[in-house]
Amino acid sequence: MPTSSGTVRVERDLDRPDLVTLYVNGVPSSALDLADPGFLAFEYMQQMAAVLDALRPGPLHAVHLGAGACALARYVDHARPGSRQLAVDHDTLLTELVRTWFGLPRSPWLRLRTQDARATIQSRPPASADVVIRDAFVQDTTPAHLSTTGFADDVRRALRPGGLYLANCADRHGLLGVRREVASIAAAWGPAAPWSALGVIAEPAVLKGRRYGNVVVVASAPGGEPLDLADPRIGRALRSLAVPTRILLGDEVRAFAGNARPFTDSSSERP
Which residues neighbour 156 within 8 Å (Cβ) at sequence distance 6 or greater?
165, 188, 189, 221, 222
pLDDT bucket at 57, cuts 50 / 70 / 90: confident
**pLDDT (0 to 100) of residue 86:** 97
Residues 53 and 79: their CA atoms lie apart, in Å, by 8
pTM above 0.85, yes or no: yes
Q: Mean pLDDT in the chain? A: 91
Alpha carbon distance 177, 206 (integer Å): 13
Alpha-helix runs per DSSP H in 71-175:
71-79, 92-102, 117-123, 149-158
Read off the pLDDT of residues 209-238 as tens digits, 9 standing for 90 and up: 777 889 999 999 988 777 888 889 899 999
Measure the CA angle with vertex 23, ends 19 and 24; round to 5°: 150
204, containing H or E segment: helix 204-207
DSSP secondary structure code for residue 54 in this structure:
T
Q: What stretch of H or E contains 176?
A: helix 176-189
The pair phi, psi for residue 10, each rounded to 5°, is -120, 130
Please tell me the chain's helix, strand, coil percentages from 3-state DSSP, rounded to the nearest 5: 30, 30, 40
Radius of gyration (Cα) for the chain, nearest Å? Answer: 17
pLDDT at 271: 47
- Asked whether 29 and 68 are in contact (CB, 8 A), the reply is yes
pLDDT at 110 over 50: yes
Q: For the chain, give the percent of residues with pLDDT over 70.
A: 97
pLDDT digits (tens, 9 = 90+) for 124-150: 999 999 999 999 987 677 888 999 999
Answer whether 223's CB lies under 8 Å from 157's CB. Answer: no
Q: CA-to-CA distance for 89 and 48, rounded, in angstroms?
A: 19
